[in-house]
């Protein structure tokens, strides 16, 4: 599938309740090794409850400058969370459904501070 189709898709919990939209898709470089780089494996989806897309990733890294832009963008992306691939029950054309009892994780990138 083409990843752009997944971005911005509404995310629903197992009961059909709306949680937000797919703001980003997280990959980890630990798949099958190739000659140059390993294959990026899908780790999970970053879900944003308030916005259709993420902009500049301030909610995921520890950056606080420029102060006003960081404050505004962090506020806009407040409540974002990461769901792992294991918790995704179905990817549809119009929505993504999660498994019952899915876990929310922080979207912070490892080299960034707690978002």
Partner 1 sequence: MTSAPAPLPKAPHVAGRILDAQLHLMDRQVLDHDGVPVTTVDDLEVSGPALDVEIARGTPPPVITALLTGSVLGTRIFGGRPPSSRLIRIPWKDVAEVGVVVRLGVKGEPLDASWVERWVRDKIIARIPGGRHDPR
* Positions that interact with partner 1 (CB under 8 A): 1-5, 7, 23-32, 34-44, 46, 53-54, 57, 60, 79, 81-82, 84-86, 88-93, 103-110, 114
Nearer to partner 1, 38 or 72 (CB): 38
- The nearest distance, CB 66 to partner 1, in angstroms, is 18
Task: Check if the beta carbon of residue 54 is closer than 8 Å to that of residue 23.
Answer: yes
CA-CA distance, 72 to 111, in Å (whole number)?
A: 22
d(Cα 11, Cα 23) in Å, to the nearest integer? 10
Closer Cβ to partner 1, 66 or 100, answer by number: 100
CA nearest to 11, candidates 75, 80, 107, 61:
80
Name 50's Cβ contacts closer than 8 Å, sequence gap at least 6: 20, 76, 77, 78, 79
Nearest CB to partner 1, comparing residues 25 and 70: 25
CA distance 83 to 14: 13
Least distance (Å) from partner 1 to the CB of residue 8?
Answer: 10
Q: Which is nearer to partner 1, 34 or 65 (CB)?
A: 34
Q: Smallest gap, in angstroms, from Cβ of residue 25 to partner 1?
A: 4
């Amino acid at each position: 599938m083409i990843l752009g189709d997944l971005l911005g898709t509404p995310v629903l919990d197992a009961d059909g309740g709306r949680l937000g939209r797919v703001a980003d898709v997280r990959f980890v470089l630990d798949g099958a090794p190739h000659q140059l780089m390993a294959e990026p494996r899908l780790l999970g989806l970053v879900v944003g409850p308030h916005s259709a897309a993420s902009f500049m990733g301030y909610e995921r890294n520890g950056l606080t400058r420029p102060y006003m832009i960081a404050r505004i963008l962090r506020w806009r992306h407040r409540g974002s969370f990461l769901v792992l691939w294991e918790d995704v029950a179905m990817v549809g054309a119009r929505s993504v459904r999660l498994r019952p009892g899915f876990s929310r994780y922080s979207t912070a990138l490892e080299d960034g501070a707690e978002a």
